[in-house]
Chains A and B, each alone.
Chain A
Amino acid sequence: MASAPPQIDRETQLRMYRIMVDCRTFEERAQELFFEGLVRGTTHLGIGQEAVAAGVAAAMRNDDYTFCTYRGHNHTLARGVPMAPIFAELFGRATGLMGGKGGSMHLTSVKHGAMGSYAIVGAHLPIALGAAWSAQYRKSGQVAVCFFGDGTTNIGAFHEALNMAAVWKAPVVFFCENNQYMEYTPIREVTAVEHPAADRAAAYGLDSILVDGNDVEVVHRVAKTAIDRARAGDGPSLIEAVTYRHGGHSRADPGKYRPDDEVAAWKARDPVPAYRQQLLAQGVGETELEAIDGDAREAVAAAEAEARPAPEPAADVLETQVWTDGGSAWRN
């Protein structure tokens, strides 16, 4: 008989709620600004998947590493990266997180442990493994957490990284956010097993771990167990969290290929209001949660106000930072 899961302390609960509300408020505004023409290029929103970002981030040490995908706003925010430089990066401004050279799909803030958002599916699994190997070699006690989607489980780099991480006992947690659509195609239609990550864990000698990705406390507990295990030198984990993106794959996609009743059912399980209800039921005051909601709205508004008037990048940065000397010279 399984014992009841340990209670998560109130501070952590409120922190996770704050992260989820920050992410939701930020991305909803980013979407509006996209339609206003202020955000250019493309965006891939994680609206509906905030419980994963918040639950895992709250289980990480400050010097741990996050590797995520082009759907990476939430994971970047969850590590404490300020909103204003993210907005500025989305707007193509000089004050952007990467000075306007990366864009929405490549948010990176090394000083926050946000080691990059990777836009070629699967690439960052081996890279996260490498960071974990480095931590292992340096005996730093750091853990790398690598987030990816269900679609990633069908590309070669996934399998190469899982195998090598297992053989090397690397301190890395591979975290599959199964939002059930690879891009426009349901993952089940193109995958040989029902659970694209969990059913493959055995191939690498790992436990099969399948959790509800819309329950932030479930996510937090499973992440903490895996991160502790990695830090203790017991090797990698592969976790599959089932969740749902409320919108389409990217800004150009209305997501019409999904049945209305499916979308409605998952929106009824929206992780943000669900956690709010859970906290209220546990005795957290409405006013306390309202204050968090209000803080998030103010933070997003202030970040937008800061980013909007920022100048566009100057021409003289175009050919900088190819090399560590700051330049891009290929000849003398």
Chain B
Amino acid sequence: MAELTYRAAVAAGIAQEMERDPNVVLIGEDVGAAGGVFKLTEGLLERFGPERVRDTPISEQAIVGAAMGAAMTGLRPVAELMFSDFFAVAWDMVANQIAKTRYMTDGQVSLPLVLRTANGAGLRFGAQHSQSIENWAMAIPGLKVVAPATPADVVGLMAAAIRDPDPVIFCEHKALFAVKGEVPDGEHVVPLGQAAVVREGSDATIVALAAMVPRAREAAERLAADHGISAEVIDLRCLVPLDAHTILASVSKTSRLFTVEENPRLCGWGAEIVSLVADEGFYSLDAPIVRITTPHIPLPSAAALEDLALPTVERIVETVRRRLDEAR
């Protein structure tokens, strides 16, 4: 085991796959000589050379489109979009071209590509550099959506994403870049579509993703210590494919479900999980399902306001405690 930051795990995960497969190539703005604006790709140019690690102009449509053209003709490109908000600039490529071409050609084309991006809030960057766009991607058939919460999962899910024969949107959370964690030695692969039960519990299930996972874990610890509530925490890891079994199995044990989403309220991924559990786990439930989300607003930049918008440990603790108290 080696301790890596989430930031270093990104480069380590890409490097592991570039070592393994010469068809893996990396493109994006400032990914080469500069090592990425967040230093997520540091050292890759030096290690793999300019043929495999290419800097691009500020041309998101060309970056994503070129990744598609390369993927349909034998490469396994990894393309970086510097901030996930920039997906909006290239949305035709993502939603109309990449997501639909396999279906429209009845399987003639496979698109083994990864679109990596710095996603999420917490750095006071304001409304156009802080969004969580995983819900945008989840709404489009033909895209897989991954959002790791730990350095080990960054490496393992990156490997699975690059090896996957289909397009993967890989959301790297900005607020987690400095977080350290153990990463297994040797080749590490975490299959897509397998949620992790990161804390076992019996009174409530809390489902979280990316930066909300450590908050949900800490909330669960406080609920146990301060309120005698045993919360199970699930790290979804992937929205597509979605590990419905793990969610339903947990709810059948705890009978209560909370989602913690760093997203605007409407049509967040939690709503899909609520629908799933209402449909298939209804008779396990002892109480209404509760979604803990940001309000339905653009994200503000001031620290005090951004902190207020995002689900906090305190908000999770308070919401779960109050709801369980009501039931007592």
Identify the A interface with B (CB < 8 A).
65, 98-102, 106, 108-111, 115-116, 118, 120, 122-135, 137-138, 142, 144, 156-157, 160-161, 163-164, 167-168, 317, 320-326, 328-332
Contacts and interface: CB of A to CB of B under 8 A. Distances in A.
A120 B96 contact: yes
Interface string B81-92: 000000000001
Interface residues of B, number: 49
B194 to A, nearest CB: 9
B69 A128 contact: yes
B243 A321 contact: no
A253 B141 CA distance: 32
Interface in B133-175: 141-142, 165-166
Nearest to B195: A332
A134 B69 contact: yes
B56 interface: yes
Contact of A102 (B66, B67, B72, B104): B104
B277 interface: no
Given A116-B105, A123-B65, A331-B241, 16 more contacts: A100-B106, A102-B106, A108-B104, A126-B64, A127-B72, A131-B72, A133-B70, A134-B74, A137-B75, A157-B65, A160-B57, A160-B62, A163-B57, A321-B106, A329-B241, A332-B245
Nearest to A162: B62
A108 B57 contact: no
B61 A126 contact: yes
A127 B65 contact: yes
A131 B243 contact: no
Contacts, number: 159
Interface of B: 25, 51, 54, 56-57, 59, 61-75, 77, 92-93, 96-97, 101-110, 112, 141-142, 165-166, 193, 240-245, 276
Contacts of B75: 134, 137-138
Contacts of A111: 108
Contact of A324 (B59, B61, B166, B243): B166
Contacts of A131: 69-70, 72-73
Contacts of A116: 101, 105, 109
A164 to B, nearest CB: 5
Q: Closest 10 CB pairs between A and B?
A: A130-B69, A126-B65, A130-B66, A324-B165, A160-B62, A160-B59, A99-B106, A321-B107, A131-B69, A127-B69
Contacts of A320: 107
B93 to A, nearest CB: 7
A260 B71 CA distance: 46
B276 to A, nearest CB: 8
A325 B102 CA distance: 11
Contacts of A157: 61-62, 65, 92
Contacts of B63: 126
B57 A164 contact: yes
Contact of B66 (A109, A127, A330): A127
Contacts of B72: 110, 115, 127, 130-131
Nearest to B67: A130
Contacts of B244: 331-332
